[in-house]
Amino acid sequence: MRFLRRFFIRLSNFTAGRRADQRVREEMAEHLALQTEENLRAGMSPAEARRQAALKLGAAQAIREQHNAEQGLPLAENFLFDLRYAFRMLYRSPGFSLIVIATMALGVGATTAIYSVIDATLLHPLPYPNPNEIVRVEANLPGVGAHDVGFSIPELRDLQNSGIFQYVSFCFFGSENVTGSAQPTHIAGATVSPSYFAVLGVEAALGRTFDPHDASPGSNGEVIISDGLWKRAFGADPHILGKSLRLDNDLFHVVGVMPASFRDQGQTREEVNTELWASDGFYGDDASPPMRSTRTGYETIARLQPGLSPEAAQRRLEALVASLKKQYPADYPPQAEWTFHLTPLAETLVGNVRQSLILLFGAVGLVLLISCVNVANLLLARASARGREMAVRQALGAARMRLIRQLLTESLLLFVLGGITGFAVLFCARKFLLQFVPESLPRLNDISISWGVLAFAIVVSVAAGTIFGLAPAWLTSRLNLTATLRQEGRGSSGSRRSSRLRHVLVIGELALSLVLMVAAGLLLRSFWDLFKVQLGFNPTRVMAIETTLPNPNDPNTDIYRTATQESVFLREALRRIRTLPGVEETAVSDRAALPLGHGQIDLRQRPLIREGQDVQSSQPPLIDTSIVSPEYFHVLGMTLLRGRLFADQDLEATPSIAVINQAAARMYWPGKDGKGEDPVGKRVSVRSRTAKPGWTTIVGVIADARTESLADAGIPQMYFDIYQRPAKFLALYLRGQVDPATISAQVRTQVQAVDPEIPVFHAETLDDVLSSSLSVRRFSMEMVALFAGTALLLAGLGIYGTISFLVHEQSREIAIRLALGAQRSNILRMVLRQGLTLAAVGAGVGLVAAFIVSHLMAGLLYGVSPYDLSTFAGVTAVLTAVAIAASYVPALRAMRLDPITTLHAE
Amino acid sequence: MKEKPDVLQGTLALMVLKTLDVLGPQHGYGIARRIEQISGDILALNQGTLYPLLLKLEHEGSIVSQWGASENNRRARFYRLTVTGRKQLQTETRDWKQTAAIIARFFEVKAEDLP
């Protein structure tokens, strides 16, 4: 208590600038006068009386200082003095200050920029109450290599009744045709269980969310709309509740409007910006009761019981799986190894981007480290120049700690100013910089330059300033007084130790930049390999446009129910589109066949039953399926290897046929001797909602194409004829010379001339699709390359500065050598050797570190070994070349040294 | 020459408080004189060091000060004990006596007294 009271009084005196100097002077004068009188009374002479009184009082100046220190807060006062002095030093050498501030601004600015991305994607909790309770549940069949196969309705009920979760919900992102207005629009919509909003824990801003206990089968006719859609399509109508709208020809009524701030959970921007949610019981489309073995394949999210950790929930889920397997042995054959897996929702949303972001953060951290090392190097160089100043201060009685504090204040000021500058540049350029962030980055909307980011920038600058300012301050203040003062002009005595430290710093800098360059080189190679990969299909001059046929809940109202009904529309629409100027060829497929598009729009993987090999009750392998029109293979330039493709005579009434790719042939018809047997003519059964029961004959095998993933050439695929199996979510393809700006409108006119209720949207050239599928890779590659370039530049500057300084220090020695007849070329070689030694040691250390780092980033590489010799060799060569170039300029200066002037100047 | 012992850290504050308790309000010189008299010149006191200490005690709230007139009618600063200061003096006196008693007993103990 007493201590606190004293502290606050001192603090208030300090801030108010209240001084007690006058008071202690008066008190001491009075004290002296009284003591002198006393002494006089004791019989001393007046002069002696005054002298004795002064002696008894003690050193007046020291007492006054002590008194003043007690009055205020000396630590804070000294800090202010130091700060003022640091500002003066900053002004006195503006060039030096500018370089240091700019270097730190670069380092801190870049780090802060990446941090703001990581803050939004990895660190920010999801914008829902108690986000840690929300999880994603997946069902896997590791026994047959199937992942995330989805749940059947009885399984969903098992989850709900397990007591592990508060709520469980299916969700299915798709898109809906909103009709009934003047222009059919197409919006991102989701079909969800009634408990969906209860899982997220969000309430509607207007009206209500779905009743989580609503158990009606199928759609219950209720929709909730987003704030954006409410304002855009309904003019923010306050009486919207209960009004109806038509989705895919079904009538729905609006029961709620979500708050403006609400963003849906989801991995893509489209999912996050979902504008309409329809609730559905997910069963009862047809009369059959929900079967345990009929999996829906929808995403499943759930909210855990409060206080239950995901690990504990996972254990309870495993117990549930075990008891279900016992109860229904027919549905869960042991060889399939059916399991549940639970992941926190936040993790699933970030997914594979995490690794790239951590790599970027590591890379930018190295750049920051190199900037700091560079600045520490500059500080050290300046410290030797200030040896005399320090010596004089020490001679005048400054304590070592005091000097360190002052030097530290100076470097902290520079670092913090650099950090603030970096942050300010980032803040001003944030709009510009965000353009470079790929659209596919999850939670892109959440990226902001917030107070947290500012705090990060300041903390990083202060920490860096303390760590990298301390060593130079320590070395500068540690000097031999007499030697320094006597030796002035030939470098201070501390310079040997500090020059050793400077060498270590430059070596570290070179090593770090080598690591970054290796990382960048490997990423560049992977990217290039992916970019140059044999696609197996030809995306040039092909445009894809999406459309969706109405998908009403009551099949009897569907005018495109059968393939024959749909083919009339499709053939007419394609015929009309072909008449458009520039269009040479057209094709249509379901959206699963859209190259490199996300195939989540429909469940793609279907169980493949081979005649004579698999039986219905066993767990058959799963295969990617898509539905295409006969022209699809030609428009995309995919080559037929064996058999035939679809033809015009293949219709709904003719036998069902399919085409597979080579990977499927290899995997599912390996033959007895492993050489492969001809799959053409084999019969398979692939169940799907629109397929008629019975066998499908394989008629052709096409070459593998990277339509699924650029990184993977051999994913088994099976194609069906769209004129035999109808599909709702379609992509139209146009090959030819078309204008991307107007084609969408032209195609829409043609399609709506056939059926005015059908929307046409999302036109994109396949080249664009291809490049956006590479966007995250390209982003991280470009960023790491940028950081590596910066690192190389900084390292070059560092070695240049060090060698220049060495030449300066050794100028007397060089002059003497020259005067004694040394060859100028020898001098050049001597200096270059010093630079090369540094580079060699730096490269050696860096190569070891680079091996470790490249091993860690193996998962991000494609087609290139993490220990790729040419990358390592090339990078080392570049670094050595830069080191030589950076040493060459000071070496030339050393060579041209005039011995007479140099020796005279000493 | 034998040096006079330095005033033990912390005991000076106790002496100041006790002086003010016995003599009532005093100026700096008066306190210094009194300490000197009682300690019988054994304690060497740089009398000036009293002033920073007085300021510290004032900040801690043990004493208060105000300007007044000294015996020879000059302006002097007078220090007075506060209620807090008196309480502090009591606790510190008790603590001090305890410590002193323990130390004294230690000195009395002889080797043969130990079990």
Q: Which residues of B touch A5 (CB under 8 A)?
A: 59-61
Lowest-confidence segment of A164-178, A242-256, A281-295, A779-793 by average pLDDT: A281-295
Q: Which residues of A touch B75 (CB under 8 A)?
A: 26, 30
Residues in chain B: 115
Predicted confidence at residue B79, as pLDDT, reads 92
Q: Is residue B5 part of a domain?
A: no
For residues A283-311, give the mean pLDDT. Answer: 74
Q: Is A19 on the interface with B (CB under 8 A)?
A: no
Q: Name the residue ranges covered by the structural domains of chain A.
A: 2-72, 142-337, 355-531+775-905, 551-756
3-class DSSP assignment, residue A701: strand
**Percentage of residues in chain A having pLDDT higher than 90:** 13
Lowest-confidence segment of A40-54, A253-267, A300-314, A479-493 by average pLDDT: A479-493
In total, the C-beta contacts within 8 angstroms joining chain A to chain B are 74
Nearest to B60 among A5, A23, A67 (CB): A5
Predicted confidence at residue A599, as pLDDT, reads 46
Q: Using CA atoms, how far apart are residues A898 and A893, in angstroms rounded to an integer?
A: 10
Q: Which residues of B touch A26 (CB under 8 A)?
A: 75, 77
> Domain containing B77 — which CATH number?
1.10.10.10
**pTM of the prediction?**
0.72
For residue A24, the tally of other CB atoms under 10 A from its CB is 26
Range of the domain at B55: 11-110
User: HSE on the CB side for A822, CA within 13 Å?
Assistant: 20
Interface confidence: ipTM more than 0.85? no
Which distant-in-sequence residues (6+ apart) come within 8 Å of B87 by Cβ? none
Note whether B46 contacts A57, CB cutoff 8 Å: yes
Lowest-confidence segment of A78-87, A717-726, A755-764, A843-852 by average pLDDT: A755-764
Nearest to B59 among A10, A27, A58 (CB): A10
Q: Using CA atoms, how far apart are residues A32 and A26, in angstroms rounded to an integer?
A: 10
Predicted confidence at residue A719, as pLDDT, reads 93
Contact, A484 vs A822, CB < 8 A? no
Q: Using CA coordinates, name the residue in chain A closest to B71.
A: A34
Which distant-in-sequence residues (6+ apart) come within 8 Å of A571 by Cβ? none
Q: How many folded domains does chain B comprise? A: 1
Q: Which residues of A touch B27 (CB under 8 A)?
A: 27, 30
User: In angstroms, what CA-CA distances link A732 with A162, A280, A651, A763?
Assistant: 45, 29, 20, 9
Q: Using CA atoms, how far apart are residues A734 and A632, in angstroms rounded to an integer?
A: 10
Q: What type of residue is A647? A: A
Contact, A397 vs A384, CB < 8 A? no
Contact, A205 vs A540, CB < 8 A? no
DSSP state, residue A712: B
For residues A82-86, give the mean pLDDT. Answer: 88
Lowest-confidence segment of A682-691, A859-868, A871-880 by average pLDDT: A682-691
**pLDDT, averaged across chain A:** 83
* Residue A201: exposure state from Cβ atoms within 10 A (0-12, 13-18, ≥19): middle
Contact, A113 vs A433, CB < 8 A? yes
- Tell which of A21, A57, A73 to mutate to test the B interface (max B CBs under 10 Å): A57
- Tell which of A22, A30, A61 to mutate to test the B interface (max B CBs under 10 Å): A30
Contact, A552 vs A250, CB < 8 A? yes
For residues A804-809, give the mean pLDDT. Answer: 82
For residues A454-476, give the mean pLDDT. Answer: 88
Q: Is B28 on the interface with A (CB under 8 A)?
A: yes
Element (H, E) at A735: strand A729-736
Q: Is residue B68 part of a domain?
A: yes
Q: Is residue B75 part of a domain?
A: yes
For residues A843-865, give the mean pLDDT. Answer: 88
Q: Is B37 on the interface with A (CB under 8 A)?
A: no
Q: Is B55 on the interface with A (CB under 8 A)?
A: yes
Can you spell out the DSSP letters for A808-871?
HHTHHHHHHHHHTT--HHHHHHHHHHHHHHHHHHHHHHHHHHHHHHHHHTGGG--SS-TT-HHH
Residue identified by tokens 């596919």 is A440
Q: Quick check: A747 pLDDT over 70?
A: yes
Residue identified by tokens 């690192």 is A791
Q: Quick check: A277 pLDDT over 70?
A: yes
Predicted confidence at residue A804, as pLDDT, reads 85
Q: Which residues of B touch A3 (CB under 8 A)?
A: 60
Comparing CA positions, the residue from A343, A301, A348 lying closest to residue A442 is A348
Can you spell out the DSSP letters for A563-580?
HHHHHHHHHHHHHHHHTS
Q: In Å, how far is B73's CA from the nearest CA of chain A? A: 11
Give the phi and the psi of residue A713 in degrees, each rounded to 5: -85, -30
Note whether B51 contacts A67, CB cutoff 8 Å: yes
Q: Which residues of A touch B29 (CB under 8 A)?
A: 30-31, 34-35
Q: Which residues of A touch B56 (CB under 8 A)?
A: 6, 70
Q: What type of residue is A84? A: R
